[in-house]
Amino acid sequence: MSAKSFVVVTGGAGFIGSHTVDRLLERGCNVAVLDNFSTGKRENLAQWAESDSLEVVAADISDGIFAALADLEERWGKVERIVHLAAQTSVVHSIENPLNDVRNNYTGTVQVLEYARRKGVRKVVFASSAAVYGDVSTLPVREDAPCNPLSPYGIDKLGSEYWLRYQSSIFGMDSQPLRFFNVYGPRQDPRSPYSGVISIFSDRASAGKELRIFGDGAQTRDFVYVGDVSRAILLALFAEGGTGEAANIGTGNETSVNELAALINEFCGGRSTISHAAARDGEILRSVADVNRARELFSFDAKIVLRDGLKTTVASLQG
Ligand SMILES: NC(=O)c1ccc[n+]([C@@H]2O[C@H](COP(=O)([O-])OP(=O)(O)OC[C@H]3O[C@@H](n4cnc5c(N)ncnc54)[C@H](O)[C@@H]3O)[C@@H](O)[C@H]2O)c1
pLDDT single digits (tens) 90-120 = 999 999 999 999 999 999 999 999 999 999 9
Which pLDDT does position 189 carry in this prediction? 81
Q: Does ligand 1 have an atom closer than 6 angstroms to the CB of 60?
A: yes
**Ligand 1: residue whose CA is nearest its atom 23:** 11
Which pLDDT does position 194 carry in this prediction? 65
- Residue pLDDT, tens place only, 146-173: 999 999 999 999 999 999 999 999 999 9
Query: pLDDT band for position 250 (50/70/90)?
Result: very high
Q: The dihedral of CA 202, 204, 208, 214: what is its sign? A: negative
pLDDT above 70 covers what percent of the chain?
99
Q: CA 269 to CA 152: how far, in whole Å? A: 40
| 252, 217 contact by CB (below 8 A) | no
Which pLDDT does position 8 carry in this prediction? 99
Which residues are catalytically annotated?
A: 153
- The pairing of beta strand 174-180 with beta strand 123-129: parallel
The structural domains of the chain, with segments of one domain joined by +, span 6-184+224-250+290-302
Q: What is 6-184+224-250+290-302's CATH superfamily? A: NAD(P)-binding Rossmann-like Domain (3.40.50.720)
Q: Does ligand 1 have an atom closer than 6 angstroms to the CB of 86?
A: yes
Q: What is the mean pLDDT of residues 71-83?
A: 98
Mean of per-residue pLDDT scores for the chain = 95
**In the Cβ-directed half-sphere of 294, how many Cα atoms lie within 13 Å?**
28
- Residue pLDDT, tens place only, 168-188: 999 999 999 999 999 999 999
Q: What is the mean pLDDT of residues 183-212?
A: 88
- Residue pLDDT, tens place only, 20-46: 999 999 999 999 999 999 999 999 999
Residue 128 CA: nearest ligand 1 atom is 7
